[in-house]
Amino acid sequence: MTRALTSPTPTTLSIEVEPPPAWLARFVEDIPTGVAVFDAELRYVAANSPWIDTFRLAGASWIGQRHDAFDPHAAQLKGLLGRALAGEAVSGGIIESAVGGRLHHRVIGVRPQRRSSGAIFGIVAALHETTTALGEKSASEAADRLTGLASRQGFLARLRAALPTDVAAGPGAAMFLLDIGNFKGINDLYGACVGDSVLRAVAGRLLTGVRAQPTPPEHPERRDGPAAEVDLVARLGADEFGIILGGAAPSIGDAEAFARRLLELIDTPVSVGDHRIRLTANAAFIITGPAHRTEDDVLRDLNVALQEAKARGPNVAKAWEPALTTTVGRRLALLDQLRRAVDQGEFVLHYQPILSLTDHRVAGAEALLRWNHPSNGLVAPAEFLPLLEESGLIVPVGCWVIREVVRQMQVWQMLYGRDMVDWIAVNVSARQFNDPSLLLATLSEINASGCSLDRLKIEITESTVMRDPEVTRAVLDDLQDLGIRVALDDFGTGYSALGALRYYSLDTIKIDRDFTARLDTASGREMMLALLKISRIHDALVVAEGIETGAQRDFLRAAGCDFGQGYLFARPMAGSFFGAYALTHLVEDIAAG
């Protein structure tokens, strides 16, 4: 059931088209809503005043011409006409116009016209006014005001109508949830007006991918009739959309293919003014059955599948299955414990030393988050960090980490009368970096209090740096204005490493531990030498992670690597132990000198 987007092949307009018969022109003109008639070459045959006014065609010689000759933004209509020419009756595209001080949203519906032989000889297109589909009294429920899609109320009405009434009934309907990733970050960076334009663009794309009607049917409680055969697209929240497919329920494979197609529609960058914004999304889908007796059952399982899709990364679609409910139940229990950990101050920091490979001096450290569970002791980071990131708790926890590192450096200064290390590195997650308002506010507050940030180093991964170049450049500029250095973590593991070095000013490169582990092979040593050469070209300090043997240390030192980090030198330790460790090395260096 994958619905491919097609568009007609452009043709040269060298054929004269006769004016429409008088009766056709009068018939079209008497229709109160915007209507146009096209021939099989997608040339105008007739159009009435509402259509002409909406598309600003007055004064133009449009008969016999294709629409894109007058409208440079005709991609949506062109795509719909192409699908109608292929035999589909579809709706899509959002057209805005201001009439009488009110903003009207209209959706274009197109239908092929066939001869008795079945051949398509033309297309009729009409504009549907979304704000009046259910009458003036319930217009606010008929459509989402921003996008012209069905509202949440309309989605729920259609959902209830699609639920099986018989326990022994077969599959009911295919339903989808689609969530736009990091939409808040887009609003924060570009402003609400750009964010609104992005949502309208998403709505238009979703409509072009379904057999849509713009608003809920007049009688959503009916399970038969034309309304049940079309797909419904609705905006359910700020950045969440719902889709219910009409007609017979598809197979799981077809539903998955459709969900992937939705993600492909979102993946194409959105152009708003001078901005070109790349979006990510996640999708969840379900085919209702006897177990789904209420709308709450459906929404619960859709949300369970959506959370699982998000946990697997951006642009992932996931079908609901019963086992997910158990898995998500465990995850929700762990999430409750993590929220308690935030409130009760159960997180602690450990510091892993970073040593100079030339003189064995403790040059810095990496601050690593640990969870001191009240009954289970220290919990491994792999067990809770992904959930912190997924839930968004990483944002406030990440800001606490920065405050705690600054506090710890002040304690060391007080105890030992000097700065113990040149820098402390703090990992900043993709969630923090792409929604940087709280991160930057925290750093600015610390800086304004008189605490210097020049010994703080922010570590970010390659994928985070390259996800949104505009966001990255803006955040890096703000960090450097505060005197904060930036390190590129896990260098060499992603496709974008060279791009990150070329476009951004980075103080330090951390070579991933996987490359260090392969130094016992000839190819591994060649790869390491290449990474070190690239780093030197870009005048960046280099830290090799995961050093566990003397042979690895000796090779890296001879190859010109600046710093090393790993179990050969020390495991992560509490702040009090790290201060003593650094002081011991300092005394040894002085004695040796």
Cβ 545 vs Cβ 512: under 8 Å:
yes
Rounded Cα–Cα distance for residues 19 and 10 (Å): 22
Kindly report the average pLDDT of the chain as a whole number: 82
What is the pLDDT, as a whole number, of residue 432? 87
Residue 171, Cβ density class (10 Å: 0-12 exposed, 13-18 middle, ≥19 buried): middle
Rounded Cα–Cα distance for residues 48 and 428 (Å): 58
- Residue found by looking up tokens 């892993």 in the block: 352
What is the pLDDT, as a whole number, of residue 529? 96
Rounded Cα–Cα distance for residues 107 and 222 (Å): 23
What is the pLDDT, as a whole number, of residue 72? 54
CATH number belonging to the domain at 1-132, selected among 3.90.1200.10, 3.30.450.20, 3.90.1150.10, 1.10.10.10: 3.30.450.20
Winning range, highest mean pLDDT, from 165-169, 436-440, 468-472? 436-440
Please tell me whether residue 585 adopts helix, strand or coil conformation. Answer: helix
Topology of the domain covering 141-320: Alpha-Beta Plaits (3.30.70)
**What CATH number was assigned to the domain covering residues 345-592?**
3.20.20.450
What is the pLDDT, as a whole number, of residue 217? 43
Q: What angle in degrees, to the nearest 10, is found between the helix axes of 394-416 and 575-592?
A: 40
Rounded Cα–Cα distance for residues 398 and 394 (Å): 5
Which among 413, 410, 409 is positioned nearest to 425, based on CA atoms?
Answer: 409
According to CATH, where is 3.20.20.450 located in the chain? Answer: 345-592
Q: HSE on the CB side for 583, CA within 13 Å?
A: 12
Q: Which helix (H) or strand (E) holds 355?
A: strand 347-356
- Phi and psi torsions of 438, nearest 5°: -70, -40
Q: HSE on the CB side for 272, CA within 13 Å?
A: 19
Rounded Cα–Cα distance for residues 70 and 141 (Å): 35
pLDDT digits (tens, 9 = 90+) for 82-102: 888 888 777 666 565 544 444
According to CATH, where is 3.30.450.20 located in the chain? Answer: 1-132
Residue 1 confidence class, pLDDT cut points 50, 70, 90: very low
Cβ 386 vs Cβ 367: under 8 Å:
no
pLDDT digits (tens, 9 = 90+) for 463-507: 777 777 777 888 888 998 999 999 988 887 654 555 566 677 789
* Residue 571 CB neighbour total at 10 angstroms: 9
Maximum Cα–Cα distance across the chain: 105
Residue 507 in tokens: 């103080």
Is this structure's pTM higher than 0.75? no
How many residues would you count in the chain?
593
Rounded Cα–Cα distance for residues 484 and 443 (Å): 9
Residue 383 in tokens: 């067990």
Q: Helices in 468-521 by DSSP H: which ranges? A: 469-481, 497-503, 513-517
Residue 560, Cβ density class (10 Å: 0-12 exposed, 13-18 middle, ≥19 buried): middle
In the predicted structure, residue 130 carries a pLDDT above the cut 60:
no
According to CATH, where is 3.30.70.270 located in the chain? Answer: 141-320
C-alpha distance from residue 256 to each of 47, 75, 176, 283, 459 (Å): 40, 27, 10, 10, 37
Rounded Cα–Cα distance for residues 146 and 201 (Å): 11
Q: What region does 360 belong to: left with phi over 0, alpha with psi -120 to 50, or beta? A: left
What is the pLDDT, as a whole number, of residue 127? 83
